[in-house]
Every structure is written in C-alpha cells, then in structure tokens.
Structure 1
Amino acid sequence: MALVTGAGSGIGKAVAILYAKEGAKVVVNDISEKNGQSVVDLIKSEGGEAVFIEADASKEEEVKKLVQKAVEAYGSLDIACNNAGIGGELNLTADYAEENWKKVVDINLNGVFYGCKYELEQMEKNGGGVIVNMASVHGAVAAPMSAAYTSTKHAVVGLTKNIGAEYGQKNIRCNAVGPAYVKTPLIESVDEDGIAQLISKHPMNRLGKPEEVAELVLFLSSNKSSFMTGGYYLVDGGYSAV
C-alpha cells in the first residue's frame, strides 16, 4: 500500500495515479475532499484501487490518525510520499510576517516530520518500507523572496538524510526529490510574464510536468533503487546547473 499526502492535485495527484498504475493500493490524502475523491475516482475508473482519507498534514494528531486509517484500509504501509506543501508569502526576509512563516513551517517541515514519524513507526512493524519526501530545487539553492519556503525545503533534505542514516539497517529507505518549477494549478495562476521568467530559469526552456516528477518518485519507491537511501535527487530541467 502507498500513501500520498497532498494528492488532490499537481505532483501528488500524478504520484498517486502512477503508483496505482503500477499496481499499488493507494491512500489519497488531501485537505480537500472534493479534489482527493476526484483522484480516487480517476484511479478506480482506470482499474486501480484507492481510498481517500482527509487530514491536515500540519496537525500531528490528524497525521497519526491518517496513518492508522491507511493501515486499517489496506493492512500495511509499504510506501509513503510526503508531498503536501505550500509556497507561502513573497517578501524580503526582514519583512516576512511571523504568522506566515509559522504556517509554511507547520506544513512544509512539521507536516513532513509528522508523516515520517508515524510512517516509520508502522514500517518498523512491517519489517521495512520506503519513504519519499517532496523537497524542491530550493532545498539546494535560494528562492529570493521566499525565505520560509527555502528554509523548510533545506530542512526536509536534512531530515531525509537523518532518516536514511538512522533506519538503513531496519530495511527502511528514505530519499528526497527536488523538483524545479512544475506546471501545476499553483503555477498556472501566475501571469504570462511571470511564467516566462520562470521558464527562463531552466536551461531546458520549459516548466516541468507533474508526471516527470512522479516517475522519479516511483523509481525511488521501487526495488530498482534498492541501494539508495538518505539521498536528494533533483528533477529540475537544469535549474541548479547555472
């Protein structure tokens, strides 16, 4: 069974769909029941198996119950992709509002920690498992005007490395993925000039596709990456190369 947080749209949706196509039973998590259930319906229409469980990744008790319900639904937790995240306020660091900083940290960092905490607990009971955390290219380089986002994504990379080191002997692998700018509903809300500026940052001269990120997540979730843990892997169209 595979659990995907923030799976109601964008990259999380693509990951959930690909997991299902490869034969996994998928637990689709999101704060939007409408979006999450639509992904479940799509998976089922293509012959896959999935259920929707609503939970807010920033709230520890809800994440704990999410993992419990996921196991109750399918009996075990083999794979987890902690994908839920937000961009947050755009502002200079000194002007960044404290409440907005806390919101980004609660979702992007604490949410991933809560997910890992309870997923690891379950995977130890199983005798193994795989976790893929969604970081960002900004887990490696700055995102000016987005100090909270950059900080949390760097922290997700550090958390992932720690888990890889701590749980490698327990047959649990943990890796992080670093997408650059991907064509998702969030990005599509940016105006034409903004999109052109984002595209120009990528040597491949385009935005990524959610499905391209999902392919890397699938690889890291599979036995094809059986000797890979504690790593951080970019899928960034060359963004970090220049």
Structure 2
Amino acid sequence: MSKPALPGPHVGRFKDQVAIVTGGASGIGEATCRRLVAEGATVVVADVNAERAAALASELGPRASAQVFDAADVRSIERLVQGTVERFGRLDVLHNNAALSSPVIHAKDKNAIDIEFEVWDQVMAVNLRGYLAGCKYALPTMIAQGGGTIVNTASTGGFSGDITRMAYSVSKAAIIGLTRQIATHHGAQGVRCNAVAPGLVLTPGTRGAAASVIDVMQRHLLVPEFGEPEDIAALVCFLASGEARYINGQTYIADGGMLAHNPTMADLVDMAKSRKSS
C-alpha cells in the first residue's frame, strides 16, 4: 500500500492575516510556518535560534520574517508580540509551540523523588509560563480588533503517565487546562483558543531517537505510518482558520490512535497470533 499524500495547503485561507509561530524554525513550528505562508498569511518565525529562523524566513519570502526570542523570558515574549503588532498593525493567529528541548534538562527530568526543583522550574518557565505570556500579550490586540485565534501545542504526554520526563508531561497537561481557561474567559470576545496534542511525530529530533524505542511505539499505532510535522501543521491551520469557527477550548489528539485503545492491545494481538500459529 502506497503512503498517503500529506495534506496540501488551502490557498488564500489566511489572506491578509498576521501570525506568530513560536519555536517556528524547526519541526512542527517550521511546518506550520510553511503552511501559513502557503495559505496567504504574513508570518513571524519566532525562535531562540537566530540563524535557523532567519534562514527559514529568507526561504519563505517577503511574507515571512524572523524574530529571536526566549520563551523563558516574559519580557522577550512581550517584545515579540508588541513588535509584530507595531510592524503589521494586527495579530490574527498565535501558535504557541516553543518547548524546552535541552537534552541535559530532559535527562534530569525523571520522577518526583529525583527531579531537582531547578529543572522543574526551567521546564515550566518555557513550556507553560511562556504560553501564558504569549496569550497575555496577544489577547488585548485580538480583542480590540474583533477576534483572533490561539493554538497551543500540548502533547499526548499531558493525558497519560510515563516513566520519565515528569515535568514535561505535567506542563503539557497544564497547557490543556490553560487552553480551556483562555477559551472560557475570552471566547465571547471573539478569541478562540484550542490545542493540538501530538504523539510521536518524525521531527529531526525524534528521528534521532533509538530505533528500538520507535519500534516499540509503532506496535501501538492504529495507522500504517508515524506522523510528520506537516500532519500537525495541517491540524494547527485548520483550528486557526475560519473553518473551525465553532470549535473553542478543545484539545485534538494526533497520535495515530495510540491513546484510543487499551494499553495492552499490542501484546494481546501478539498473543492471539502466537496461539493461531501453534
């Protein structure tokens, strides 16, 4: 069976709109920037990596610009939003997507006994407080102009426990709650806030993971292939678009069906196969 084609852009869907994508220089953020530009938006590629952000913006053309920012620094986020509004006169879409990706921090993000509070605080500063700051500074402009959309990147880690990266999972669960709060407080003012919760997506980072880990996870998928960043970008852009005008406060899981079934499913399938062959 041939691999299904990745979803293509809806040309003109974001014409005359302005978007900020944090963590926009790679992975899901990069794919979202590419799709937003392809669909007509003016996009600010916001990332801590100045060189990579500038390279992507240059590739995407005149409707893309790069902005260096630190997701752990609320003043940096305030400058990002205010600078965008001052330059373009509006802000229609905010995709809160930046996340702490330091391998050193991930290695120390273990369990409640072993984790250092410094590590906990660093993860929460980027993954949660950074999202709150993005909302805080984007909301006044969105409300004043009559509406806007915010899409937060959560994770399937926010729905289930794991044996590692406790702070990461808790931060992603909190993003789901933050999404509902923003929608509840500001939906009547024309602002929609939704979230996407990806499972394992084949970004450059995850492609470098141990093959054995990827093989274990693939056993639990209910689709033939792992997701690509473009799959998540398609969902982000749908939720940010007028096509999703009646959707607010929701979190959409995009994990190939991994959380849809009993966690013992893959082992039970193997057991059934073994019995048939014996």
> TM-score scaled by structure 2?
0.83
Tell me the number of residue pairs that the alignment of Structure 1 and Structure 2 aligns: 239
User: Pairwise mapping of residues 89-104 of structure 1 onto structure 2 (< 5 A)?
Assistant: 89=107, 90-104=109-123
Task: Kindly provide the amino acid, as one letter, of the partner of residue 94 in structure 1.
Answer: I
Separation in 2, partners of 1:186, 1:108:
17
Which amino acid counterpart does residue 170 of structure 1 have in structure 2? Answer: Q
Confirm whether residue 163 of structure 1 aligns to residue 182 of structure 2: yes
Match of residue 41 from structure 1: 58
Match for 1:84 among 90, 95, 98?
Answer: 98
SS in 2 for 1:94: coil
SS of 2:72's partner is: coil
Q: Aligned to 2:44, which of 27, 32, 37?
A: 27
Taking the TM superposition and a 5 Å limit, the aligned residue runs for 1:132-211 are: 132-211=151-230
Identical aligned residues as a percent: 36
Q: Which runs of 5+ in 1 are unaligned?
A: none
SS at match of 2:24: coil
Aligned-CA RMSD value = 1.3
Gap regions ≥5 residues in structure 2? 1-17, 262-278
Deviations 1:47-96 (Å, cap 9, x if unpaired)?
A: x6111011001110000000011112211001110000135335233112
**Residues 93 and 146 of structure 1 are in contact (CA less than 8 Å); yes or no, is this contact kept in structure 2?**
no
Is the contact made by 1:93 and 1:145 (CA closer than 8 Å) also made in structure 2? no
Q: What's the counterpart of residue 10 of structure 1?
A: 27
TM-score (norm 1): 0.95
Q: What's the CA shift string for 1:175-219, capped at 9, x where partnerless?
A: 011100111122122122222223233232532100000000010
Please say which of residues 14-23 and 136-145 is displaced more in the overlay: 136-145
Measure, in 2, the Cα distance between the counterparts of 1:240 and 1:140: 9
User: Match for 2:49: what amino acid?
Assistant: S
Match of 2:147 among 114, 125, 128: 128
